[in-house]
């Protein structure tokens, strides 16, 4: 699942390939931006902001969000792509590299990046990370389920559904518990930071400390399987602010009561 750590790594890869380099090809395969061409421009910088990726070039920002299926690949010139060409939404070439965005959930060209990321809370992997602001944001709605508050990018930028489920388990909190009843939120924020920092350089997330196949997570994706701590059957449910925004939750009814 693309979460803040996935996008952070993608930004690092793209930065190494594009930053400071002159574009020899710019092919944007989105009808709205079909006439936009940054060929000849130099890429000023590449950055991640939560789950968003920002490529700054020619006074504009190429903004992308991976959603569920999106990915960025970098290849040597002329190398064969690992995804079919019809999935490519944008191609940025330099003299030494090809950067291709496949099946990007969102692709925009904007002049002011605040238009697309200005609403975000402090980024767990960004220079703006501020646990005090994150705490204030979470505490602003004490009646809201903590599982929804953690996933709300306006509160904290970077957490996705995998982290949400694992953090709630490790803190012993049912994700449906109101924020005001969810215990010490400072500890929850600190755990969120430590967990994503521990995984930011890994291609495979691990929250249990066990990297063996099938042992990476405590509860996520483990519906009807025994809890790794107490043996109670892991339960599955859905939670969201409305039926169209429901996401999967997994929890141990004994360890998270």
Joined together, the tokens standing for residue 144 give 């809201």
HSE on the CB side for 33, CA within 13 Å?
20
Given the residues 2, 122, 145, 175, select the one marked as catalytic. Answer: 2
Q: How far is 136 from 1, CA to CA, in rounded Å?
A: 27
Give the SS3 label for residue 251: strand
DSSP 210: -
Nearest to 61 by CA among 141, 139, 115: 115
Q: Among 3, 145, 166, 175, which one carries the catalytic annotation? A: 3
DSSP 145: B
Active-site annotation holder among 9, 49, 51, 171: 51
DSSP 125: T
Does the annotation count 225 as an active-site position?
A: no
Of the listed 29, 176, 200, 247, which one is catalytic?
A: 247
Q: Which of 185, 192, 26 is nearest to 100 (CA)?
A: 26
The per-residue b/e assignment along 87-126, b for 16 or more CB within 10 angstroms, e otherwise, is bbbbbbbbeebbbbbbbbebbbbeeebeebbeebbbbbbb
> Are 180 and 142 spatial neighbours (Cβ–Cβ below 8 Å)?
yes
246 in active site: no
Indicate if 111 belongs to the active site: no
Question: Is-catalytic flag, 89?
Answer: no
- Residue 199: phi and psi, rounded to 5, are -105, -5
Structure-token pair, residue 154: 């306006």
- Residues tagged active-site: 2-3, 51, 247
């Amino acid at each position: 699942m693309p979460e803040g750590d996935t996008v952070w790594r993608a930004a690092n890869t793209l930065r190494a390939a594009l930053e400071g380099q002159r574009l020899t090809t710019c092919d944007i395969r989105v009808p709205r931006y079909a006439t936009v061409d940054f060929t000849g421009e130099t890429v000023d910088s590449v950055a991640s902001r939560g789950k968003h990726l920002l490529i700054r070039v020619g006074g504009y920002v190429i903004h992308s969000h991976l959603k569920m299926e999106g990915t960025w690949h970098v290849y040597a010139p002329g190398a064969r792509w690992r995804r079919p060409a019809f999935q490519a939404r944008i191609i940025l070439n330099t003299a030494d590299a090809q950067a291709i965005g496949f099946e990007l959930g969102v692709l925009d060209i904007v002049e002011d990046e605040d238009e697309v990321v200005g609403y975000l809370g402090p980024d767990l992997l960004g220079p703006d990370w501020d646990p005090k602001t994150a705490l204030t944001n979470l505490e602003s709605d004490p009646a809201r389920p903590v599982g929804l508050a953690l996933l709300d990018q306006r509160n904290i930028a970077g957490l996705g559904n995998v982290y949400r489920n694992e953090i709630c388990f490790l803190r012993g909190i049912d994700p449906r518990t109101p924020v005001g009843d969810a215990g010490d939120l400072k500890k929850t924020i600190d755990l969120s930071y430590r967990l994503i920092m521990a995984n930011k350089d890994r291609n495979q997330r691990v929250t249990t400390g066990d990297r063996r196949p099938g042992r990476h997570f405590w509860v996520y994706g483990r519906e009807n399987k025994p809890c790794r701590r107490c043996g109670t059957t892991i339960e599955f449910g859905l939670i969201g602010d409305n039926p169209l925004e429901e996401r999967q939750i997994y929890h141990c009814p004994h360890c998270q009561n």
